[in-house]
Amino acid sequence: MQQPIHDTEGLGAVIRAERKAQGLRQPDLAAVAGTSVRFVVEVERGKPTAQIGKVLELLRQLGLRLAVDGLSESGPADGA
């Protein structure tokens, strides 16, 4: 399933939905990902400052992967 994600809230919603679909509780996911329950809660709520490495581990434990696609052929929108 491919799903566009535009912000941290969207990413959190995908993580929450997949966790629930797998019948996992937040403590279960935290345990297998080696993080705290609080971290899982914050990511699922869309915390914008969550550590990317830990978020990637949550995704890996859920069997999800992150892909990046270009929005346009002209490069970044901000010219960076």
What tens digit of pLDDT does each residue of 28-71 get? 999 999 999 999 999 999 999 999 999 999 999 999 999 888 87
> What confidence score (pLDDT) does residue 24 get?
97
Q: How confident is the model at residue 27 (pLDDT cuts 50, 70, 90)?
A: very high
* 8 A C-beta contact, residue 35 and residue 54: yes
Q: How confident is the model at residue 13 (pLDDT cuts 50, 70, 90)?
A: very high
> What confidence score (pLDDT) does residue 79 get?
52
> What confidence score (pLDDT) does residue 76 get?
55
> What confidence score (pLDDT) does residue 70 get?
82
Using DSSP's 3-state secondary structure scheme, residue 53 falls into helix
CA 26 remoteness from chain centre? 14
CA dist., res. 57 & res. 63, Å (int): 10
Lowest mean pLDDT among 14-18, 19-23, 47-51, 72-76: 72-76
